[in-house]
Amino acid sequence: MGHYAAEWDDKAAATEITKDWNGIDQVLLRNPHGASAKISLHGGQVISWRNDKGEELLFTSNKAIFKHPKSMRGGIQICYPQFGDCGLLDQHGFARNKIWVIDDNPPPPPPPLPTNESSSSFGKSFVDLLLKPSEDDLKLWPHSFEFRLRVSLALDGDLTLISRVRNINGKPFSFSFAYHTYLAVSDISEVRVEGLETLDYLDNLSKRELLTEQGDAITFESEMDRTYLRSPKVVAVLDHERKRTYVIGKEGLPDTVVWNPWEKKSKTMADFGDDEYKNMLCVDGAALERPITLKPGEEWTGKLMLTAVKSSFCFDQLELQSKGF
Ligand SMILES: O=P(O)(O)OC[C@H]1O[C@@H](O)[C@H](O)[C@@H](O)[C@@H]1O
């Protein structure tokens, strides 16, 4: 097992494989300070991310349906090769409903930057999952690809997901992509999203009408389903009641989706509690407006980095730079 997880300096156990609700393998990443992440091979879905106090940072519905092949409501879902219903495939594409495999012999992580103390803690415990299309997938979407998903947990508890999609087809193909990320929040009415002010967005609640964000930070008082276009590399979600800030960093992912179903839609979702909209917010790093096109042999990389800090913490530019953003 140790060959796909780099060892911690203090030799604390870094990974463990157990079974999920369907008897499908899941990988537990742990760091020596008690932070952890759980990834199911079902969908390559991150199903838990806990800080060093054992607090769960991702939302999972109490009514989630844990039954293959449907993806579970919550965590971080991989939406590929289609986002939403903009295409011929099922909603959000097939990747989230497939069984991925662990790569027992992954390429090593890049060496830490010598000048930078905190980056040396980056990506020490990781797993690489692979997805290749089945014959049935190729009937629906006739493009051969290899999808490598690396999930890493750092010493400071940061969670990083790196997706690499390679075209192993004879012809170019295009796809859209999102990390559909369910953040756990204490009360959606007390939550603010910073970093998306003044941006153009597509309002998915009104036929993808193109609008411009007018307000300061985004706050919530009704259903929201928007795709912010060409958003910055870093967006922050402030949970005032819990005094927690999520910092969402991204690379290769120009867009950001913000989704909360609110009360009426919640009641129509079989795998979601009527009041659970109060305790979640989806903020997805995504590539939607302009689909990614890969020529034969080309590879695309999309990276998401999640940090959860106390709201009093000042996440200044230097800190971001030290983490590679
Ligand atoms: O119920 P699903 O397929 O997981 O999708 C949930 C939501 O996911 C969001 O990302 C979309 O913007 C919404 O339109 C969608 O309703």
Q: Give the pLDDT confidence of 190-203 residue by residue, as tens digits.
A: 999 999 999 999 99
pLDDT of 320: 54
Ligand 1, residues at Cβ distance < 6 Å? 84, 91-92, 180, 204, 225, 257, 259, 282, 284
In whole angstroms, give the CA distance from residue 136 to residue 153: 33
Going by alpha carbons, the residue nearest to atom 7 of ligand 1 is: 259
Contact 298, 149 (CB under 8 A): no
Amino acid code (one letter) for 240: H
pLDDT of 8: 47
Among 46-55, 147-156, 167-176, 306-315, the range scoring the smallest mean pLDDT is 306-315
Q: Report CA-CA distances (Å) from 183 to 48, 72, 87.
A: 10, 14, 27
On whether ipTM exceeds 0.95, the answer is yes
Which CATH class, in words, describes the domain spanning 2-322?
A: mainly beta
Q: Is 214 annotated as a binding residue?
A: no
Mutate which of 65, 94, 180 to test ligand 1's pocket (most atoms within 8 Å of Cβ)? 180
pLDDT of 322: 55
Ligand 1 atom with the shortest distance to the CA of 225: 12
More confident residue, 275 or 104: 275
Q: What pLDDT band is residue 15 in, cutting at 50, 70 and 90? A: confident
Is pLDDT above 90 for 149?
yes
- Give which of 180, 227, 225, 162 is closest to 78, Cα–Cα: 180
Q: Taking residues 43-57, what's their average pLDDT? A: 97
pLDDT of 324: 58
Going by alpha carbons, the residue nearest to atom 15 of ligand 1 is: 84
Amino acid code (one letter) for 293: T
Contact 4, 127 (CB under 8 A): yes
Contact 184, 277 (CB under 8 A): no
- Is beta strand 125-131 parallel, antiparallel or unpaired with respect to 101-102? antiparallel
Q: What pLDDT band is residue 114 in, cutting at 50, 70 and 90? A: low
pLDDT of 115: 52
Ligand 1 atom with the shortest distance to the CA of 180: 10
pLDDT in tens, 158-205: 999 999 999 998 899 999 999 999 999 999 999 999 999 999 999 999
Mutate which of 59, 92, 267 to test ligand 1's pocket (most atoms within 8 Å of Cβ)? 92
Three-state SS for 139? helix
Q: What proportion of the chain, given as a percentage, has pLDDT over 90?
A: 78
In whole angstroms, give the CA distance from residue 218 to residue 235: 11
- Give which of 64, 2, 76 is closest to 39, Cα–Cα: 76
pTM of the model: 0.92
Peptide bond into 107 cis (omega under 30): no
pLDDT of 14: 65
Distance 272 CA to ligand 1 centre (A): 12
In whole angstroms, give the CA distance from residue 42 to residue 13: 23
Going by alpha carbons, the residue nearest to atom 9 of ligand 1 is: 259
In whole angstroms, give the CA distance from residue 71 to residue 244: 27
Is pLDDT above 50 for 98?
yes
Q: Which residues pair with 291 in a beta bridge?
A: none
In whole angstroms, give the CA distance from residue 29 to residue 38: 6
Distance 258 CA to ligand 1 centre (A): 10
- Burial string for 110-120 (b: 16+ CB within 10 Å, else e) reads eeeeeeeebbe
pLDDT of 215: 81
Contact 171, 53 (CB under 8 A): no
Q: Is 91 annotated as a binding residue?
A: yes
Contact 14, 8 (CB under 8 A): yes
Q: What pLDDT band is residue 112 in, cutting at 50, 70 and 90? A: low
pLDDT of 23: 87
Task: Give 243's DSSP letter.
Answer: T
| Assigned token pair, 247 | 């910092």
Distance 93 CA to ligand 1 centre (A): 11
Q: What proportion of the chain, given as a percentage, has pLDDT over 70?
A: 87
- Is beta strand 234-239 parallel, antiparallel or unpaired with respect to 224-228? unpaired
Q: Is 96 annotated as a binding residue?
A: yes
Cα end-to-end span (Å), the chain: 31
SS3 content of the chain, % helix, strand, coil (to 5): 10, 40, 50
pLDDT of 321: 53
pLDDT of 162: 98
Distance 84 CA to ligand 1 centre (A): 6
